[in-house]
């Protein structure tokens, strides 16, 4: 068993030494691939952290205002006829 393993190891090392360019390119590909995966995971974590911080900074002090158009029956009859064409409702600049 020990002889078979050492023969396999010697054959592998000899093959690597005979084909140095292929060995170097394979090692470079493994290095670049591993680096890329680590970089992509780190970027994803950074973006996720930044999004969580932005949501956290919004806080619970926000007020959501939804305007609802008033019914036609609640409209007052005072004012000029030009006021009847424009319905003012919701949050205005003065508010």
Q: Which two tokens stand for residue 16?
A: 């690597």
The C-alpha atoms of residue 11 and residue 5 are separated, in whole angstroms, by: 10
Q: Alpha helices, DSSP H only, in the chain?
A: 2-18, 20-58, 81-85
Q: Do 74 and 94 meet the contact criterion of CB atoms below 8 Å apart? A: no
DSSP symbol at 73: G
Give 54 or 30, the one with higher predicted confidence. Answer: 30
Whether the predicted pLDDT of 90 surpasses 60:
yes
All structural domains of the chain with their residue ranges: 9-56
Q: How many Cα atoms within 13 Å fall on the side-chain side of residue 80?
A: 3
Q: What is the pTM of this model?
A: 0.47
Q: Express each pLDDT in 40-74 by its tens digit.
A: 999 999 999 998 888 888 876 667 777 777 776 65
């Amino acid at each position: 068993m020990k002889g078979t393993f050492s023969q396999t190891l010697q054959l592998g090392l000899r093959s690597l030494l005979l084909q140095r360019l292929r060995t170097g390119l394979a090692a470079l590909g493994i290095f670049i691939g591993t680096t890329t995966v680590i970089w992509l995971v780190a970027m994803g974590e950074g973006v996720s952290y930044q999004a969580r911080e932005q949501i956290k900074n919004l806080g619970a002090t926000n007020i959501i205002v939804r305007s609802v158009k008033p019914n036609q029956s609640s409209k007052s009859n005072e004012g000029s006829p030009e006021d009847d064409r424009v319905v003012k409702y919701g949050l205005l600049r003065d508010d």
